[in-house]
């Protein structure tokens, strides 16, 4: 009985320490990548503003090519929603909505993940003119993990996890647009 009591005290202490640590761990994260595409800003923006076009360059859209997709609204306008559902645990179920468009410059999205975990995060794409025939595209993602789940940020490298997929997506976008 004494050993059980000691084990119980140790478990409670570990949980308590974890909860106290979580109070001091950041709750927000942000990842951004960029690429220069040899096309005009207008041409690049007119392609990326269509959410359906992400299916052509996004790494996540290509993990499960047989996933169920649905669309609501008019693409390339605020309020357009693209939803997905897959049995692949790396894809899961969720939706993405266009929240704001600054024509020719920026698109903001809200991502609502439903499975395998629930979360609401934000993403954006920005275009910047380098010269008449070159455009810098930035693709960013930011999110928040509430207490005490933010403790996972100590063990998850969001920069590495999301960064490589964002960069690969941008490289795919560059190939697609430069072939046109």
In this structure, of 14-18, 44-48, 172-176, the range with the lowest mean pLDDT score is 14-18
Q: What is the DSSP string of 65-83?
A: TT-EEEEES-TTSTT-EEE
Token output for 31: 């990842």
- Structural domains in the chain? 27-179 (3.30.530.20)
Confirm if 158 and 178 have CB atoms less than 8 A apart: no
CA separation for the pair 141, 158 (Å, rounded): 10
- CA–CA–CA angle 161, 167, 168 (5° rounding): 95
This prediction's pTM: 0.84
Residue 152 clears pLDDT 80, i.e. is over it: no
> Mean pLDDT score of the chain, rounded to an integer?
92
Confirm if 157 and 21 have CB atoms less than 8 A apart: no
Token output for 147: 């207490």
76 or 14, higher pLDDT:
76
């Amino acid at each position: 009985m004494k050993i059980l009591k000691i084990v119980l005290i140790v478990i409670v202490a570990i949980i308590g320490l974890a909860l106290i640590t979580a109070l001091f761990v950041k709750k927000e994260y942000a990842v951004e990548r960029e690429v220069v595409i040899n096309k005009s800003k207008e041409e690049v923006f007119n392609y990326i503003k269509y959410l359906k076009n992400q299916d052509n360059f996004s790494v996540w859209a290509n993990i499960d090519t047989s996933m169920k997709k649905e669309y609501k609204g008019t693409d390339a306008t605020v309020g357009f929603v693209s939803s997905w559902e897959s049995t692949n645990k790396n894809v899961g179920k969720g939706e993405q909505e266009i929240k704001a468009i600054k024509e020719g410059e920026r698109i903001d999205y809200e991502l609502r993940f439903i499975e395998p975990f629930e979360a609401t995060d934000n993403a954006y794409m920005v275009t910047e003119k380098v010269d008449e025939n070159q455009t810098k595209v930035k693709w960013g993602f930011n999110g928040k993990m509430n207490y005490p789940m933010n403790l996972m940020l100590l063990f998850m490298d969001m920069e590495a996890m999301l960064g490589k997929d964002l960069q690969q997506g941008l490289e795919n976008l560059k190939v697609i647009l430069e072939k046109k």
